[in-house]
Chains A and B, each alone.
Chain A
Amino acid sequence: MRTWIKSASFAIAATALLGLAGTAGAGETIKIGVTQPLTGAVAASGNYVVQGAKIAESFVNESGGVLGHKIELIVEDNKSNPKEAVATAEKLIVRDKVTVMMGAWSSTYTLAVMPKLMEYGVPMVVETSSSGKITTSGNPWIFRISPTSAMEAQSFGTKVDQFDIKKADFLVVNNDWGRGAASEFKKMLEGKGISVGVVETMDAKAQDLSAQLAKIKASGGDTLFVTSGVEQITLILKQVKEQRVSHRIITTGGSSSPDQLIAQAGAAAEGSYHLLFFAPWFPEAAPNPDVAKKFVDEWNKRGHNFAGLTEGFRGHDGIMTIAAGIEAAGKVDSDAIRQALWGVKVDGVNGDIAFIKQGPAGKESGQNVPNVYIVTIRDGKVALP
């Protein structure tokens, strides 16, 4: 009798659960999973990306949605932690039954999530990560709109003569992003006959960088390449002044939010250079000025922080790419969307988005070739160099 009651109640509970899952799957909207760092070390950037993604969500829905349905973003917080990133992907795919995702900001989180995409067969548009490994490791579910560190280095290489660099040093965050950027830029600089001094790393949470800077100062270079998030760039600019390091600073990776640097590092930010993938101060100079202007206007209308635009556009371009992919697929199915993404042409804020093949033959990942901009901080304002 007792066992019977037990199994009966179990059955009822199981049915209830299944019922819930059923209603969630048969909803009116097309769900898109988003995993971003909303808390933790790089929370600011992740929140900006989500703000940009939500703007794209509204744009798509205002213009009639996709395949006659509205799209709906399901946003999960990966807590600036690769383990949590995996958990969010699992949750989005298994419980929310999303057929396509966007994420996961840092290369380290994206690399952690990638095996899950293979396991469940769900495509992911990568909006920020730049480690080369992401598109060369043979994961056919990856479509990256952000540039690889190699592309960024190559693009900077075409303008490197303007900077007259004799000897360069590096200070990068100790993860896939930072170390990848250092090795690609080093390769490019050495290819141009520029000598490279020291390559120093720092923990993503480190606040005191005096030891690294004392070593960099002693190396005697003239230019310091920095790869990290805006929080650490702020600290570096301040501490470079304290230790009288005379290097010119160039940041890579596009996460430097120059306006935030001006506000927080003040005079210490003066004269620094920043590689960016969107220059919101000059939307008319973007390859698709109308798209860029519309996005910047909506961002300002919503009262978002202007400094976040250099991150926020990634979310916009990512969701626009996914929406185009679903539309082209003609149905809400992961494999159909994956195949359709190969053919999409999207007018993004950064520029025209389309995918080329990277990685081992037969299981290539998609890689976009984005535009790279250089800005500088002059007289407390962002300017073109």
Chain B
Amino acid sequence: MDQFLQHLLNATMLGGTYALLGIGLTLIFGIMRVVNFTHGELYTFGAYMVFFFTMTLSANFFLALVFAMVLGIALGAAIEFVLLRRLRGASIDTTMLVMIGAWIAMQNTEQLAWTGVAKSVNHPFPIDPLVIGPVSVSWIRIFVFCVAIMLIVGTHLLIHRTRLGKAMRSTFQDRETAALMGVNINAIHTATFALGSGLAAAAGALLGPVFVLVPGMGDMAALKSFAIVILGGMGNFMGAALGGFLLALVEELGAGYISSGYRDGMGFLIIIVVLIFRPTGLFARAERIG
């Protein structure tokens, strides 16, 4: 029983970050329909930026998190502006190839800049965990969880309650009509990609101090993000958030009670099952045809 409670708590903490990764990608992959292979690299970028600000420049930890996210947004905007803007009419294959190229180039740049030696980031939270009865959780994970939830809710409100959010939704529903209504299509594309990238960088910035930093750390994060988006239904915001928690739960319980060797396989098993029975994703509403 104690083990089960600990698994549940671990899954909740992990689910928060999976959800954050998922919503960032669902904006780009689900709404913009760009197969964003750089998602994992923006995650890595966020983590290394926190390392750079706190460990190299000795900046305040919380300030470093904000800087990392802002720089992630800027990098995302730059990728959209330099690469994707030129490819707007191109086929999905072309875009995909360009993004794969960007992914490889970014990962090798990280390797060059930071070397393959793992880095670790100091954080101001106590090492001794919070103990609640039979289970325990570290303070930094609680902090990461709370910030992740805040970012998820904040992004949800941004998309559903603001003018910018409305413009985003309308643009990706019907680009021409949105343009006729006076929406600046180019700006919206850049803003959406930047926002999704900023969320990936935030996830990396938050998780970097929990784990260790290596240049290839984004690969697994990106793979899981794609899984979460497909699980939750393409472009479905709440679906991605719930998909993140579901994936974490399946991984935890699968590893805990079935086999840890198949831990990462469990999540993909669920996706296969979901795709067979609900091909549009677990939480997808009926597809609207423009």
Contacts and interface: CB of A to CB of B under 8 A. Distances in A.
Interface stretch (A264-272, A312-320, A372-380): A264-272
A201 B118 contact: no
Nearest to A215: B256
Interface string B1-30: 011001100100110000000000000000
Contacts of A38: 116
Interface string B259-290: 01101100000000000000000000000000
A377 to B, nearest CB: 15
A39 B215 contact: yes
Interface string A228-272: 001100110000011110000000000000001001111110000
Given A44-B118, A211-B251, A211-B256, A205 B220 contact: yes
Q: What class of interface size applies to chain A in its complex with B? A: 35 or more
B131 to A, nearest CB: 7
B145 to A, nearest CB: 13
Chain B interface, >50% SS class:
helix
B260 A201 contact: yes
Contact of A214 (B6, B118, B217): B6
B165 to A, nearest CB: 32
Given A214-B3, A215-B255, A234 B118 contact: yes
Given A241-B127, A267-B127, A211 B255 contact: yes
A267 B126 CA distance: 11
Interface string A126-166: 00000000000000000000000000000000000000000
Contacts of B6: 214, 217, 243
Contacts of B253: 211
Range of interface residues on chain B?
A: 35 or more
Interface string B28-55: 0000000000000000000000000000
B260 A202 contact: yes
**Interface-central residue, B10, B108, B217, by most chain A CB under 10 Å:** B10
A43 B215 contact: yes
Nearest to B139: A242
B263 A244 contact: no
Contacts of B108: 39
A47 interface: yes
A241 B126 CA distance: 11
Contacts of B10: 210-211, 214
A200 interface: yes
A218 B135 CA distance: 11
Contacts, number: 117
A107 to B, nearest CB: 16
A47 B112 CA distance: 13
A305 interface: yes
B48 to A, nearest CB: 15
A50 to B, nearest CB: 11
Contact of B7 (A41, A80, A211, A267): A211
A206 interface: yes
A47 B114 CA distance: 13
A202 B262 CA distance: 9
Contacts of A206: 220, 263-264
Contact of B263 (A203, A231, A241, A305): A203
Given A208-B14, A242-B137, A242-B141, A215 B260 contact: yes
Given A47-B115, A215-B256, A267-B127, A210 B263 contact: no
Interface in A334-383: none
A40 B216 contact: yes
A174 interface: yes
B214 interface: yes
Contacts of A214: 3, 6-7, 10, 252, 256
Interface in B114-135: 115-120, 127-129, 131
B220 A241 contact: no
Contacts of A230: 118
A234 B256 contact: no
Given A231-B118, A234-B118, A207 B212 contact: yes
B211 to A, nearest CB: 4
Which of B14, B116, B128, B255 counts the most A-chain CB atoms under 10 A from its CB? B116
Interface in A181-218: 200-203, 205-208, 210-212, 214-215, 217-218
26 contacts: A40-B116, A43-B115, A43-B116, A44-B118, A201-B260, A201-B261, A205-B220, A206-B264, A207-B212, A207-B217, A210-B252, A211-B7, A211-B251, A214-B6, A218-B3, A241-B128, A241-B129, A241-B138, A242-B129, A242-B136, A243-B6, A243-B136, A244-B136, A264-B119, A264-B120, A267-B127
Given A46-B116, A211-B252, A242-B141, 19 more contacts: A41-B216, A43-B117, A43-B214, A44-B116, A201-B260, A202-B260, A205-B216, A205-B217, A205-B219, A205-B220, A206-B263, A210-B13, A211-B251, A215-B255, A217-B3, A217-B6, A234-B118, A242-B129, A244-B129
Q: What 10 A-B pairs come out closest when comparing CB atoms?
A: A43-B116, A211-B255, A264-B120, A218-B3, A210-B10, A242-B138, A207-B211, A201-B261, A214-B6, A44-B117
